[in-house]
Each structure stands twice: as C-alpha cells, then as structure tokens.
Amino acid sequence: MIIRLYHISIKSNYYYEELAKENIERKEHLKPVRGEITDVNGKLLAMNQIGFSISVMPHLKEGSGRLKAVGEALSESFPDLNLTVLYKVYKKHSSPYNHKFIKVVDFIPYPDMMKAYPKLSQLPEIRIEAETKRYYPYGKYVAHVIGYTGRSNKKENAKDEVVDVVGKVGKSGLERYYNNVLEGELGYVVNKVTATNKAIEVLEKVPPKDNRNLTLNIDIELQQMIYEYFAKMKETGVAVVMRTTGEVIAAVSYPAYDPNLFVGGISSKEWRKLQEDLDHPFTNKITHGTYPPGSTIKMGMALAFDKAVPGILEHPEYCKGYMTIGKSKHKFRCWKKYGHGTVPIRKAIRESCDVFFYNKSLKVGIDAMAKNLHSFGLGVKTGVDLPREYNGVIPDKAWKMRRYKQPWFKGETVIAAIGQGYDSVTPLQVARYTALVATGNLVTPHIAKTVDGKPLKYEIKKISFNPFAISQIRHGMYDVCNSKKGTAYRALHDLPIVVAGKTGTSQVTSISQSTVHRLKESQLAYYHRSHAWITTYAPYEDPQFVVTVLVEHGGHGGSTSGPMAAEIYRWLHTHHYFKESETPKKAH
C-alpha cells in the first residue's frame, strides 16, 4: 500500500496534473490548407476541393438511443455511407480518456452537405467542420509529374506532426518531393472548457501557415498534346522537353493513371488493374524507366574517347560491315550489312556507324569510357526535383565484379560503345546530356519554377571539350536531321527551325551469329522489337530546347520517334517559344 501510495502521489503526479489541466483547457490543432500547384501559365494542376468532415461526440454508449439517432440521421442524409464501418471507427476511438469529437466521415462534398446541414446541425452529438480534398483537374496528363496524396501510415505520422494531424501526405511526384512545403505548418487554439467539455473562452490562438504554392515550368497544353500523340499512335513511351538551362516544360510517361483514384484510397480492383497492365502505367518512365541508350550514346562516347585519348577523333576508321577481336571469329556487326567504308567522326554520327565506335573503344578501354560518361551525366542521378530517381548503369570493370563476381571482357567494351550490353539510362539523363552536347553546360533538370513564391536556383556545371571534337559531333547531329543520308532527315529536315539530333535503336533481344538476314522490326513480336530513341536540340546555332523521345518497342528512332519530335517543335514554334530575333539559318 505504501508503494502504491508513493506511485500515485509522487510518480504519477505529472500525469494527473496534465489530466486535470485537460479538464479546464483544451488545445486543438488548426489544420493548414495544402498549397496548390499550377503550371507556368497559372493553370491549376493540383487544387483543394471544399467540403466537410463529420465527427461524433465521444462516450455515447454502443446501442444507445443517442448513437442510433446519429447513425439514422447520417444514413438518411447520405445513403451511400457504410454505417457498419462508421460504428467500428467510432468504437475504436471512443474511450473514457478521450474527450475530443471522433471523426467518422473524412469528406462530404460541399453541395451534398448543404442539403443535409440544416438537419444535422441541430444534433448536439454531431460536429461538422470545413475540410479540403485534393483534386487533380488534368488527371492522367500530368500524373507522373504531380504525383498524388494519400492517407498517411504510422511511420509517416511519426516523422511529421502535420501529417499526423492532417492524415494525408504526398505519396509520389512533386506532391512527395515538396511535401514539407505544400503541407504548411499547424496552428492551434486553446479553449477554456467546462466539466462537460464545452468551450467558454479562447485563451490563445495561433493561425496555421498555409497556401504554400508551387509554380511549375510545365506547360500543360504541351503536356496534353504529347500525351494525346502517344495515344493516337497507340504506342507506349516517354517524351521530355527541356530548355537547355534545365527547365522541364513537358515530361510525359505514357500510359499513365488517374491520380484522383488514390486521394480517398484506391479499390483493390483498380489497383490490381494497374499492377497487371503490361504497359506499366504506374511506372514513372521519365526517372524510373531504364533503357539501353543505343546510338544516342554515340556523341557522349566520342567525347569520352577524346577526353581519354586526346586527338583520337581526328583519325577515321574503316567499316566493312563488321569487326572481330584478335583471333576470334565472332563478328561484331554494323547495322549496315556491307559497311560504311572510310568513316570520319562526322559521318560516324550522321550515319550511326557502329564499327567506328567498336574500334575506338578498344583503344580507350571501358574504365576511361565509363568515367567520362558519368561526368557527362549518364548512369548517375540528374538531381531533378522528383523522388526516388534511378541511377541507371554505365558499367566498368569494378561494377561487373561487384555485380556478377566476373571479370570484364573486350567484347563487352565493344557493345557498350554503341549503348548496348549492360548500359541503361533514363530518358531524363539522355535529355540532360543532350543539352550538354549542345551548350557545354551540364544542367540540373528542374520542374518547379517557384516554391512558395521564391524562384529556384540550380547548379550549372561548365565542361570544356576539344573544339575540333565538339564541332564535328554537332555538325554530325546537324546532318542527322538535315542531310539526306541522315537517319532522321525525313522527319526533321522541313521544320520552321533548324534541329540537330541523334536517333537510336536499342535492342531488347540478341541477334544470333548464324542470322544472315535480319528480320525487319515490324516482323518481330511486339515485345521483341527494339526501343526507338531520338534526342535533339534546336535551334542548331542557338540551342534553346532539347526534345528527347523514346517509343518502347517502336523499332527505328528516325521513323517512329522522329515524327513526334517534329510535332513538338512545330508546337513550340507556333506558340512562340523560340526567340524570334535569334532564329538561325541552316549550317553548311
């Protein structure tokens, strides 16, 4: 008895003191309104719908007339409410120590509540409070960029007091990346209450800090146009449109999903449908899709060769359609069966000669190639303001040993030189590195323009290149789009601005050495067809924009991805994105 008396009077003094204080003072949090997200022209991409939540007075006995009356009133006003779930939630939170109203309905739309409010407001057991619900007006068009909010879990609640009170958190995209900004800060009100928990006086009130908004570089009209173009082609893939300074004005991963499905909790049927779709609509292919870069890597590979062995690009290579290593009879084939003949660097880019890069790679070695490609932004995170970005892989000897516990072979160097083998990159990495080739600046891609009214600043790293090497590579990219022998000539030569670029075909299945006549891409089963790349910049003499397109299993970049890139440039020109006074003339 003495020990128990000591525990109650001394050890538990603080607990009972706080409990007594709660009987005369009640502190309630004031929830901040989540910030909105708008595109570059002020169009709302993420907004808050106005509605109401419903809470019920605690300590109503199960099966009592008062609780039944509450249930009947709610059921009559909102027939779709599940009373079984409502009673279960109420019972879980109703305890002798809880004096706060228990929220049983998270959100009722404003128009629906207006019809029921006169009746429900007369019941003292019910409290109706203003509530907001996240809504995405453009849904699927910008799903992978904006992301969505959803109900928070215990782990998320423990990390963030605002999340714990609000019960919602950014789950993906910008909603997740900028959650700490968008959610705002809690306010509170301290009321003096009676023994029956009735507020009689406001002792202190601190308003919440809210409406911390994001303005993006994204132009939703361009975003919609690209998405609908994919839908019209009935193809899956990715398109990134970025200023050469890093501002991402469109980023489409197709197909996508409707983020509004997740706001109130997605059904198991809808979730299963998304998970089982072979086109992976839930995957953000912009930063989470990793693909062999194919021939789009060749500009960077050539610059990596020159960094490792200065002057190496001044010497042409001879292409007879294939090459071998040492005494091996294994043929590393060029895409052109009978070869390209003598190939200088400009021609190697224009006509995408594989043998040129095979030969040079053996003179440089995989480690030097990988080191320089990493410094150009391939196989490393771009730093974009989207969560959980993937690295991709630009391999070297140490990477293979770590991953497979195997040594590196020369044949692997050769195929890595043309963007195959272990090479894998994200479309955003390709867009970023294209901007580097165009300007000499390695930029940080960014989607947000201002955060809570403050402009964002990102790092730009200058990289110097051998003037001969970079000039010949840029001329080769010009030829790709403007010379009749260029791989993208048909799609891009006749535009109102001059475009430079590089196509790429990245194989997803190997071709046997015994195969003499390759099947056309259209003759292959769909999931065996190569991915079709094109990455470009424009105007050629004054690079302002990068357009990178990947069509999954699309075959050849020039014929599949090229027309989409051309359509994007026409749109940009029509909508006056290019500086009129600086429209360049064609190079010779």
Active site residues: 295
C-beta of residue 399 within 8 angstroms of C-beta of residue 393: yes
The tally of CA atoms less than 13 A away on the side-chain side of residue 383 is 14
Q: How far apart are CA 550 and CA 328, in angstroms?
A: 35
> What number of residues does the chain have?
588
Task: Give residue 275's identity as a one-letter amino acid code.
Answer: Q
Listed residue (508, 447, 499) closest to 478, CA to CA: 499
Listed residue (370, 374, 364) closest to 310, CA to CA: 364
φ, ψ of residue 238 in degrees (nearest 5)? -140, 145
Q: How far apart are CA 253 and CA 251, in angstroms?
A: 7
Q: How far apart are CA 70 and CA 79, in angstroms?
A: 13
DSSP characters over 519-575? PPGGGS-GGGSPEEEEEEEESTTS--EEEEEEETT---HHHHTHHHHHHHHHHHHHT
Supply the DSSP symbol for 126: E
Q: How far apart are CA 296 and CA 431, in angstroms?
A: 10
Report in angstroms the alpha-carbon separations of 289 from 231, 297, 323, 436, 503.
19, 16, 32, 21, 18
Residue 325 structure tokens:
């290593």
Listed residue (177, 261, 171, 251) closest to 214, CA to CA: 177
Q: How far apart are CA 170 and CA 149, in angstroms?
A: 4
Listed residue (178, 237, 316) closest to 557, CA to CA: 237
Quickly count: other Cβ atoms within 10 Å of residue 4's Cβ.
8
C-beta of residue 120 within 8 angstroms of C-beta of residue 73: yes
Q: Say if strands 37-38 and 214-216 run parallel, antiparallel, or are unpaired.
A: parallel
Q: Is 250 helix (H, G, I), strand (E, B) or coil?
A: strand
Helices (H), 407-495: 410-416, 427-439, 467-482, 489-492
Listed residue (36, 104, 118) closest to 71, CA to CA: 104
